[in-house]
Amino acid sequence: MRALRRLLFLAGALLLAAAPARAVVDSCVECHRGLDDPRLKAPTAGFPHDIHAERGLTCAACHGGDPADPDPSAMDPEKGFKGAPTRAQIAPLCASCHADAAFMKRYNPRPYVFSMAEWQTSVHAKLAARGDAKVATCTSCHGVHGIRPPKDPASPVFKTNVPRTCAKCHNAGYMKGHPVRTDQFALYSKSVHGVALLEKGDVSAPACNDCHGNHGAAPPGVKDVTMVCGTCHGREAELFEGSRMKAGLDAMGKPGCVTCHGNHGVQHPTDAMLSAAPGGTCAGCHRPGSVAEQGTSAIVASFRGLQGSLSTADSLLQLAEVRGMETAPGRGNLKEAQDALVGVRAGLHSFDPKQIGAVLAEGAGLSRKATGYGREALRDWHNRRLGMVLSLVVILILIGLVVAKIRQIEN
Amino acid sequence: MNLADWLRERLGLEALDHVIEKKRVPVHRHTFWYYWGGMTLFLFGVQVATGILLVLYYRPSADEAYESVRFLMTQVSFGWLIRSIHSWSANLLVGAAMIHMFSAFMLKSYRRPREVTWLTGMGLFVLCLAFGFSGYLLPWNQLAFFATKVGTDIMGSVPLVGPFLARLLRGGDQITGGTLTRFFGFHVAILPLCMTALLGIHLFLVQWHGMSVPPGAEQPVAAPKQEMKFVPDFLLRDLVGWLAALGALALLAALFPWELGLKADPYAFAPAGIKPEWYFGYMFQTLRMIPSRVLGIEGELLGIVGFGLGALVWALVPFLDAPDGRGPRARFWRVVGVLAMLYVVVFTLLVYRGGPS
């Protein structure tokens, strides 16, 4: 009997051990899913796909309460229920986790750690602090109850989506009454950067946040513009920083870079810009006949000369290639000369005739080499033809002699 | 005693003199086709001579092959000419070998006792194709790389031995620098060795049996023989053909220098319109046109097996045709020869006319 009791006890223990654990039910999702009010029901549709939900966080992580309680008492403030945060509360609420490096490292060994200090430098945060309820906060850009990580193409802050996300607010309708331009998206989408990013999907092209910052978004100041453009256009910015042009623009209170190139609507720079004649970019400030205009004209002439000699070299090499000649070494010289031309274009930002002249001379030397190679290839081509004709003549004479010998033998 | 006599005494050249003196070539309405063997031999000689010059500069590794050919073509005096002649001559050589083979087939030169001559000729033709296939990769350019990939892939489809054959050729599963070195080894060592041996036997047999007279041109035994001396009559006529071939090579090399193309990049996309050298064209086109499945059998496999069987039958034709070259059986094989030529010509042209793919 005792043995039977022991056996029954053991069987019961085994059954209990084998029983599946009861699934944890989130009462917030369960209840809100069944509500009629779309405002209260909507979060349950997107939240299962939210990065926070994927990482195991529940509604209670932001809203508090007890998700294990199946009754409305789950939303008892005594159980920590906070409800929906106000607009002003959103950034500090997100920061409570995202600014906590130790907490974020639990999910990512190299986490992005949000900085409230940086956020507070943004125009958005400053206006919010003054009570402006229309400015952006975290959820304005990242979304809510369906937030995707920025690397996800579905995220509104994925690189190619950023300009349209910014334009959701930065448009004439939403910005009515605010002293801020609203043509940025229209200009940007037709700019060299916008076309590259939005039309060609080139994620190396800058979006709004690359120049303005994201969490600390603000218009770059006059002094900062070169720094902003220089993050990508480093060589040009470095040369410009040491140029007399910078000092001149600073004295006039004009920003670097954008004075000549524009900002949101920046276009691919063309060589036609380089002219002090009417229509050229330099003509915007320099009068015809001025010292600056004369200096520019001299550089322009040399620049066009190099372009012309590159074009000549290219034509000669092309002709040689069409005629079946090997032109790789000449093409190598031409490529280097073309690189020098690109170097001249960058070097123009030094506004130093000597410096520009040195690069122009280097390019001209390489271009001469390429031209020389092209000419040599064509000369060689002519020589080959001549050699072929001569060898054919010799061969025909030999054939004639052999045929004559055959005839002689036959006779 | 002058040097010639001195050598004659020591090398036994009298025997050679005797052979030369005795050697005759039959003269009839098909004599023209006899010149194509000599033409093939001459072009092979051009290949050997230019190949030796090329090998002085060529470096058989993936890092250096392309650059060494470029150096040869741009920096070495007449390097472009040597390479162009080597490439053009290779093509003319295969063409001449084809003409020689088909003319021997149509003139039924393979009849007794020349069955082995025919078989060695077939072997030489296969070696020519192997020379072409292995040499094509050596400049290590983009077209050659991908054409070799396609070619070795097809070989990999051969039943039973295919995978082994493909690995043997590539030296692995992919075309790599190792494949290039291996192909170089085939091209300059293994194939020339086989070629020399087989060519020696072939020439000896041609000499031994003399020229075959086609069935329609045979004369009664009593009639005076229509023939010419090999030296100097036939040889001088051969020389005219060789000089003409040399002229054609000079013309082709100067007007259409062989391109170098872009360096092979295994990670690049295969260039559009990849096609093999023209002499593999008819096989390539056939494989392109065969449906993917025929009667439940994979189309490509069927094509490869078909080529194998076709080549076997072609090689064994001396044993299948009528021994005297006359009668219905002989006519049947003549029709087979005409159809084979038509097939090769039409399918080769289809490759270049953008035939169905």
Q: Could you report the per-residue pLDDT of B52-97, keeping only the tens digit for each? A: 999 999 999 999 999 999 899 888 989 999 999 999 999 999 999 9
Model pLDDT, residue B249: 95
B/e letters for A162-174, b = 16+ CB within 10 Å, e = fewer, are bbebbbebbeeee
**Residue A248, H or E segment:** helix A244-252
Judged by average pLDDT, the poorest of A54-68, B37-51, B128-142 is A54-68
A/B interface, count of CB pairs below 8 Å: 55
A387–B257 C-beta distance less than 8 A: no
Prior bond of B215 cis (ω within 30°):
no
Which one is predicted more confidently, B137 or A38? Answer: B137
Residue A410 confidence (pLDDT) = 85
Range 65-104 of B in CB contact (< 8 A) with A: 70, 73-74, 80-81
ipTM confidence score: 0.85
Beta-carbon neighbour count of residue A264 at 10 Å? 20
Question: What torsion do the CA atoms of A322, A328, A329, A331 make, to the nearest 10 degrees?
Answer: 70
Q: Compute the distance between CA of residue A197 and CA of residue A209 in angstroms, rounded to an integer.
A: 13
Q: Do A405 and B236 touch (CB under 8 A)?
A: yes
Q: What are phi and psi of B24, to 5 degrees?
A: -125, 155
Q: Nearest-CA distance from B88 to chain A in Å?
A: 14
Inter-CA distances, A345 with A243, A284, A306, A341, B170, Å? 15, 19, 12, 6, 48
In this predicted structure, what is the pLDDT of residue B18?
A: 85
pLDDT at res. A14: 44
Q: Mutate one of B75, B233, B236, B237 to test the A interface: name it (highest A CB count within 10 A).
A: B236
What are the residue boundaries of the structural domains of chain B, listed by start?
31-211+230-276
Amino acid at A274: L
Task: State mean pLDDT over B27-35.
Answer: 93
Q: Chain B partners of A387 at a C-beta cutoff of 8 Å? A: 254
The confidence score (pLDDT) of residue A323 equals 78
Q: Model confidence over B233-266: pLDDT tens digits?
A: 999 999 999 999 999 999 999 888 888 888 999 8
CATH number for the region A291-381 comes to: 1.20.140
- Output the pLDDT for position A152: 92
pLDDT digits (tens, 9 = 90+) for B280-322: 999 999 998 999 888 888 888 899 999 999 999 999 999 999 9
Mean pLDDT for all residues in chain B: 92
Residue A124 · residue A132 · CB < 8 Å:
no
CATH class of B31-211+230-276: mainly alpha
pLDDT tier for residue B357 given thresholds of 50, 70 and 90:
very low
> What's residue A12's pLDDT?
47
pLDDT along chain A (411 residues), means of 10: 50 45 66 87 86 89 88 87 88 92 90 91 91 89 92 93 94 88 93 95 93 88 79 90 88 88 89 78 80 79 89 94 83 94 88 87 94 94 91 96 93 85
Predicted confidence at residue B354, as pLDDT, reads 61
Confidence of residue B41 (pLDDT cuts 50, 70, 90): very high
The reported pLDDT for the residue numbered A3 is 52
Which of B27, B74, B81, B251 to probe the A interface (max A CBs under 10 A)? Answer: B74
Residue A215 is inside which H or E element, if any? none
- CB contacts, 8 Å: A379 with chain B: none
Any idea which of A326-335, B29-38, B111-120 has the lowest mean pLDDT? A326-335
Interface contact flag, B70 A392, Cβ < 8 Å: no
Which of A326, A384, A392 is closest, CB to CB, to B260? A326
Distance (Å) from the alpha carbon of A395 to chain B's nearest alpha carbon: 6
Of A329, A384, A399, the CB nearest to B74: A329
- The minimum CA-CA distance between A88 and chain B, rounded to whole Å, is 54
Q: Is residue B271 scored above 90 in pLDDT?
A: no
pLDDT number for residue A190: 95
Across the interface, do B236 and A385 touch by the CB < 8 Å criterion?
no
* Best mean pLDDT range from A52-66, A128-142, B191-205, B210-224: B191-205
Q: Which residues of A touch B232 (CB under 8 A)?
A: 405, 409
Residues of B in contact with A405 (CB under 8 A): 232, 236
Q: With contacts defined as CB-CB under 8 Å, which chain A residues touch B256?
A: 324
Q: Contact at 8 Å (CB) between B200 and B14? A: no
Whether B236 and A409 lie within 8 Å, measured CB to CB: yes
Q: Residue A2 has what pLDDT?
A: 54
Residues of B in contact with A402 (CB under 8 A): 236, 239-240, 243
Cβ contacts of B228 on chain A, cutoff 8 Å: none
